[in-house]
Structure formats: structure tokens, C-alpha cells
């Protein structure tokens, strides 16, 4: 098993955890304002991560802080624009436009990092985008200001994947992941104090949701991403993350009994097919098979 396949498998686990997080987040937001919730979730994740990985944190240097701060700011920007945008658009359009980052990643990687995406990755991205459209879009496709804000969010999430891939090879990956979590938590506190009336929640149910989200879907997820992207490409990461709405639908069915339409099922299958195409690279396999079966080779 190659290091890239192991890394992609780890990122698959991250997408799975984020799919499960939708229901927990929805339940938490019944009791907490948006940025109040993000502040508690990310600060708790930062504290726990810093304690567990204290040896890595003791070794941080100026570059780790600089890169982690940049990545954290980009990640927070994604959350902020997504949150503002969803107030003016539908949840389905928000999900699709956010998922548009799967196409933006290979384009931006090519422009900024001079990394030419593989043909299989391009094909996988196209399949995944079509699948996202079928899974999430309903009704009018007319764009409004909320869609514009969400498009900025998609750029931010694409840049987050790209910058993690770029800088995780230059510093300690775990420390980088912990710092970006802390930056998101700190910025969330500032925004919450400015536009909300933050509270400390009460009740075991809310804290149970927050603990799972903080430890599994935040601390574990972003640290795993930082470590895994040393061995895989940004485009692969973006494609794997398109599985998030598929897993969200799966958990919604298990927990709440929500059933996907036939169109949604086709969309989910296309997303998974896109991930599979990028991972296996059928183009290369086909070319190799042709070479092996030429008359010269048979003789």
C-alpha cells in the first residue's frame, strides 16, 4: 500500500467525520449563535490538541506560526463567507457552490504552484461536480448576493487545501494543524463578541455534541489533513472531500430517517465514481494494458 493511498484513506476518514458533523452542528446551533459555536468548538479543539501534542508545540518556530496563522485565517474566511452567504441563498445552492472548490483546486494549483493536474484527477473533478449538482441543486439557478459570498467561501476552502499542501512539507505537520485550529477559534471569539452575545452553553446534550465536533471533526480532522497532505496532492484532497455531502446524507438516513431521491442517489454515485477515477487512474491503466497486448509484446 503506497503512502499516497494511505494518505487518501486518512482523508476519506476526515470526509466521513465531516459528513457526520452536519447533524451534530445543526443540533448545537439550536442553542448557540454561529460564531459563538465556532469559538467554543475550535478553542476546545486547540486546547486539547496542544496538550496531547505538547512535544510538537514545544518545537514550533517562526515559520510554523506564520504558515499556521495564514492557513487559519483562510479557513476562518471560508467559514465566515459561507455563514453570511447562507442567509441570502438556499442550503442546496450553498452546498453546491461550496463544493465547486473541487474544480477550483486543480485550476489554482496549476496557476499558483505550476502543478499540472493528472487527466484522471480532471475527469474525477468533472464527475464529482456533476454529482454535487444532482445531489444538492433544486429550483432556480439564478445567482444572488448570497451565492457570490458563497463563491468567495469556495475560493477560501480551495486555497486552504492548497496552502496546507504547500506548507505542511516545510514545518511540523501536527503543530501546523494545531495552530490553524487556534487561529480559527481566536477569530471566531472576536467576531462573536462584535456581532453576537456569546454564552457558555448548559446541558449535557449540547456539550456532548460540541465535544465530539471538537475532538473528532476538528482536532482530529485538521491534524490528519495536515499530516496526510504531505503524501498526496491538493486535487486528490479536494476530490475526496466531495464525499462529505454523501456521508452527510448517509448519516441523515441512519439517524433521522431522511431518504435521498433517485436524483440524489445518482449524484452520490457520481461523486464516489469521481473519487474512484482519480484514485485508480484508469487512463494510465488502459495505456499500460494496450502496451502489454501489442503484437510485439505477445511474440
Pick from 10-19, 126-135, 180-189: least confident: 126-135
Residue 252 pLDDT level (bands cut at 50, 70, 90): confident
pLDDT digits (tens, 9 = 90+) for 73-102: 999 999 889 888 877 877 667 777 787 787
φ, ψ at 293 (rounded to 5°): -105, 20
What contacts 277, CB < 8 A, 6 or more positions away?
A: 120, 123, 124, 127
Output the pLDDT for position 214.
Answer: 95
Domain boundaries, the chain: 3-298
Output the pLDDT for position 249.
Answer: 75
Task: Tell me if 237 sits within 8 A of 104, measured CB to CB.
Answer: no
Top-ranked range on mean pLDDT: pick from 46-60, 193-207, 277-291:
46-60
Residue 114 pLDDT level (bands cut at 50, 70, 90): confident
Q: Higher model confidence: residue 131 or residue 231?
A: 231
What contacts 24, CB < 8 A, 6 or more positions away?
A: 209, 212, 213, 217
- Given a cut of 80, whether residue 255 has pLDDT beyond it is no
What contacts 290, CB < 8 A, 6 or more positions away?
A: none
Q: What's the CA gap between 219 and 176, in Å, rounded?
A: 12
Output the pLDDT for position 150.
Answer: 86
User: Where in 1-124 does DSSP place strands (E)?
Assistant: none
Q: Taking the C-alpha atoms of 281, 267, 223 and 280 in order, what is their torsion angle to the nearest 10 degrees?
A: -10
How far is residue 22 from each of residues 42, 130, 251, measured CA to CA in Å? 16, 22, 9
pLDDT digits (tens, 9 = 90+) for 22-38: 778 878 888 899 899 99
Cα angle 256-259-264, degrees, rounded to a multiple of 5: 135
Output the pLDDT for position 196.
Answer: 92
Q: What's the CA gap between 106 and 90, in Å, rounded?
A: 27
Q: What's the CA gap between 217 and 184, in Å, rounded?
A: 14
Mean pLDDT of the region 38-44: 95
Output the pLDDT for position 111.
Answer: 79
DSSP sequence for 222-261? HHHHHHHTTSS-HHHHHHHHTTHHHHHHHHHHHHH-----
3-class SS of residue 27: helix
Amino acid at each position: 500500500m503506497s503512502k499516497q493511498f494511505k494518505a487518501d484513506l486518512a482523508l476519506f476518514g476526515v470526509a466521513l467525520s465531516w459528513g457526520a458533523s452536519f447533524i451534530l452542528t445543526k443540533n448545537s446551533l439550536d442553542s448557540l449563535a454561529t460564531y459563538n459555536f465556532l469559538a467554543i468548538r475550535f478553542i476546545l479543539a486547540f486546547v486539547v490538541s496542544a496538550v496531547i501534542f505538547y512535544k510538537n508545540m514545544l518545537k514550533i518556530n517562526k515559520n510554523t506560526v506564520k504558515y499556521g496563522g495564514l492557513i487559519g485565517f483562510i479557513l476562518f474566511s471560508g467559514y465566515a463567507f459561507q455563514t453570511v452567504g447562507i442567509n441570502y441563498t438556499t442550503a442546496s445552492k450553498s452546498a453546491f457552490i461550496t463544493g465547486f472548490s473541487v474544480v477550483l483546486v486543480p485550476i489554482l494549483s496549476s496557476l499558483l504552484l505550476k502543478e499540472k493536474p493528472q487527466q484522471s484527477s480532471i475527469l474525477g473533478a468533472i464527475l464529482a461536480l456533476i454529482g454535487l449538482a444532482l445531489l444538492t441543486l433544486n429550483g432556480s439557478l439564478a445567482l444572488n448576493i448570497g451565492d457570490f459570498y458563497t463563491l468567495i467561501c469556495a475560493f477560501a476552502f480551495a486555497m486552504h487545501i492548497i496552502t496546507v499542501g504547500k506548507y505542511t512539507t516545510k514545518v511540523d505537520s501536527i503543530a501546523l494543524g494545531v495552530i490553524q485550529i487556534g487561529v480559527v477559534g481566536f477569530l471566531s471569539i472576536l467576531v462573536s463578541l462584535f456581532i453576537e452575545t456569546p454564552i457558555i452553553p448548559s446541558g449535557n446534550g449540547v456539550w456532548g455534541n460540541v465535544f465530539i465536533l471538537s475532538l473528532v471533526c476538528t482536532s482530529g480532522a485538521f491534524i490528519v489533513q495536515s499530516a496526510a497532505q504531505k503524501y498526496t496532492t491538493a486535487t486528490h484532497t479536494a476530490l475526496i472531500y466531495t464525499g462529505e455531502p454523501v456521508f452527510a446524507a448517509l448519516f441523515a438516513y441512519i439517524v433521522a430517517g431522511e431518504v435521498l431521491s433517485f436524483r440524489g442517489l445518482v449524484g452520490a454515485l457520481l461523486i464516489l465514481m469521481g473519487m474512484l477515477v482519480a484514485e485508480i487512474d484508469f487512463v494510465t491503466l488502459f495505456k499500460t494494458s494496450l502496451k502489454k497486448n501489442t503484437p510485439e509484446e505477445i511474440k
